[in-house]
A and B are shown apart, each in its own frame.
Chain A
Amino acid sequence: MEKVHNVYSDEKIYKKLLEDKNITVEDALENEMVINMGPQHPATHGVLRIVLRLDGETVVKAVPELGYLHRGYEKMAEDMSYIEFIPHTDRLDYTATLCNNVAYVLAVEKLAGIEAPKRAQWIRMIVAELARIAAHMIAIGTFAMDVGAVTMVMWTFRERERIQEIFDRFAGARFTTSYTRLGGVASDLDDVAIKMIRDFLNSFEPGLKDMDNLVLHNRIFIDRLEGVGVLSKEEAISFGLTGPNLRASGVEYDVRRAKPYLYYNEVDFKIPTYPEGDSLARYFLRGDEVRESVKILYQCLDKIPHGEIMANDPKRVLPRKTEIYSRMEELIHDFMIINYGINPPVGDSFFSAENPKGELGFYIVSNGEGHPWKMKIRSPSFCNLQVLSKLCEGAMISDVIAIIGSLDPVMGEADK
């Protein structure tokens, strides 16, 4: 400023120049620029806003601003019964709705002490893994598209479309599934659905190979991502990252292995990790996870037993519709559960499940009434985004896009 002042020695002219916003008075080369990225920006995966301070093309500081999709689900949960909240979990991570459904009912079942029948639990595993594949397909596709490989998104969405058709078959909806119920699942996986899943898996593996060929030998893609946004093991842990982002930094932590829920301890799968911790590792890790999910799905389809899909617990689990219309007892129970809720015991519990983005946790405080006293959603995208400002510092402005894509946030979940 001092230098500039000398050039425009007349105080009056200088003041006037400062007032005019169209003229740059300072030296353009020694100037730091603040630019605003988002919330309406296609590469921010939703309504994420980042304020960047730039020195030339280098990012000096990046501040993410959240809250553009804040709908107050935690407040709404306090005003509705446990069953009523299931459809709202679809809107958290809208790329993997079934994973959210499963995680939520497991959290409530832990609090209320309900146990779903065996078949229901295996079905939950199958649908969660299908949703994981679908979510990773979006993650891989949009990430590759962000850095310039547009073909990828077409191919991944083609695979995802087939998974959505399977969802449509057993849940009756493609996106907003709301498939799980307290004590079971809404409808059984019939033979057609199981055949659809098998057909999909058989043709999916060649498709994965094609996708690999597309990027593995692509110099532009690899040079663009290698060494960008490197995160060490210690930093990843201290920033509370979970899911693929943590495993890409070399930490072998997966809730499915650390605290097995459902029947994950009965299936055989590996936890892929990469020591590099850069954007490329995060990209490859998602591909590896999809392969593990395929492995899990094959085992589930072999092991799934026959039997009931809803628990027999009349005071807390909704009866079937046919029984409600024909029998008095069931009608009363249905009325009580819908109007007064399931009344879990007084206390608080924390349950977390492995979602495609990381660890989704529900901390529920019950005071013995039909609706939760407090429900906190520990959403993985929220804490994964926290590391963004650290990764962006010192990176080029075009790398910011790559880093956001590699972290794969979903704003529906981060903003709750």
Chain B
Amino acid sequence: MEVKEFIVQKVKECVGEANVEVTDAFGDLSITVKKEKLLELARFLKENNELEFVMCKDVTAVDWATRKKRFTTVYHIYSFKLNFTLRVKVNLDEEPYQVESVAPIWESANWYERETFDMYGIEFLNHPDLRRMYMPEGFQYYPLRKDFPVMGIPGSLPLPQKPE
């Protein structure tokens, strides 16, 4: 428990107590931070020599469908020094859904953010190469959004012509 308290204290010192919300469920520590403070916090978490969250394990998003703040981007970062996986969340409210990219800080976030953009249509600002990851270029929908049907949309993917 000591590690968690230490991290929370450090995070609060960095961005101020008003900007963070801490939850601890299922043994995972999760920090929700205001959108504007994300880059500042990310840089601090990586570069502070008592924390050293040097590895970004995962970036994804959650579509809440009915909530006012529709999307939440979720980052899982790991510190070898503390042997700890921390979850950082950012709630996105207004359209267009945009958030600063963390790819300049953690290189591995590059593809994760591309994947998240592909699946949810969240735009990562200042991303070096924001293209679709899995779906073809020119695909108009975002498959993991809750309003996209599981069966897919007929005709949304152009199929090759049958040879005569």
- From B54, which residue of chain A is reached at the shortest CB distance? A237
Size of the B side of the interface (Cβ < 8 Å), in residues, is 37
Cβ-based interface call for B150 (8 A): yes
Is the CB–CB distance between B25 and A238 below 8 Å? no
Across-interface contacts of A79 in B (CB, < 8 A): 150
Is the CB–CB distance between A75 and B57 below 8 Å? no
Is the CB–CB distance between B111 and A110 below 8 Å? no
Cβ-based interface call for A239 (8 A): yes
Cβ-based interface call for A413 (8 A): no
Across-interface contacts of A376 in B (CB, < 8 A): 58, 60, 74
Nearest CB of chain B from residue A283's CB, rounded to whole Å? 23
Is the CB–CB distance between A239 and B107 below 8 Å? yes
Cβ-based interface call for A103 (8 A): no
Across-interface contacts of A75 in B (CB, < 8 A): 143-144, 148, 150
Is the CB–CB distance between A238 and B54 below 8 Å? yes
User: Which stretch, A65-73, A188-196, A294-302, A312-320, touches the partner chain B?
Assistant: A65-73
Across-interface contacts of B80 in A (CB, < 8 A): 237, 251, 253
Contact of B76 among A72, A242, A373, A378 (CB under 8 A): A378
Nearest CB of chain A from residue B52's CB, rounded to whole Å? 10
Cβ-based interface call for B35 (8 A): no
Cβ-based interface call for A365 (8 A): yes
Is the CB–CB distance between B108 and A347 below 8 Å? no
Interface set, chain B 101-117, CB cutoff 8 A to A: 106-112, 115
Most buried by A among B57, B80, B143: B57
CA distance A150 to B133 in the complex (A): 34
Most buried by B among A76, A242, A361, A374: A374
Cβ-based interface call for B136 (8 A): yes
CA distance A259 to B106 in the complex (A): 22
Cβ-based interface call for B156 (8 A): no
Is the CB–CB distance between B62 and A365 below 8 Å? yes
Nearest CB of chain B from residue A42's CB, rounded to whole Å? 23
Is the CB–CB distance between B63 and A237 below 8 Å? no
| Interface SS majority for chain A | mixed
Is the CB–CB distance between A361 and B58 below 8 Å? yes
Is the CB–CB distance between B76 and A361 below 8 Å? yes
Across-interface contacts of A70 in B (CB, < 8 A): 134-135
A→B interface (CB under 8 Å): 66-67, 70, 72, 74-76, 78-79, 110-111, 237-240, 242, 251, 253, 258-259, 347-350, 352, 359, 361, 363, 365, 373-374, 376, 378, 382-383, 386, 415-416
Across-interface contacts of B111 in A (CB, < 8 A): 382-383, 386
Is the CB–CB distance between B56 and A240 below 8 Å? yes
B65-100 toward A: CB 8 Å interface, digit per residue (1/0)? 000000000101000100101010000000000000
With contacts A350-B76, A386-B110 known, is A76 near B57, CB below 8 A?
A: no
CA distance A190 to B132 in the complex (A): 48
CA distance A167 to B112 in the complex (A): 34
Apart from A67-B132, A240-B109, 13 more pairs, CB < 8 Å: A74-B144, A76-B150, A237-B54, A237-B55, A240-B107, A251-B80, A253-B80, A347-B25, A347-B26, A348-B30, A361-B58, A365-B62, A415-B134
CA distance A350 to B87 in the complex (A): 9
CA distance A348 to B108 in the complex (A): 23
With contacts A66-B133, A374-B63 known, is A240 near B55, CB below 8 A?
A: yes
Cβ-based interface call for B119 (8 A): yes
Across-interface contacts of A242 in B (CB, < 8 A): 57
Contact of A240 among B57, B119, B135, B148 (CB under 8 A): B57
Across-interface contacts of B133 in A (CB, < 8 A): 66-67
Cβ-based interface call for B17 (8 A): no
Across-interface contacts of B83 in A (CB, < 8 A): 258-259
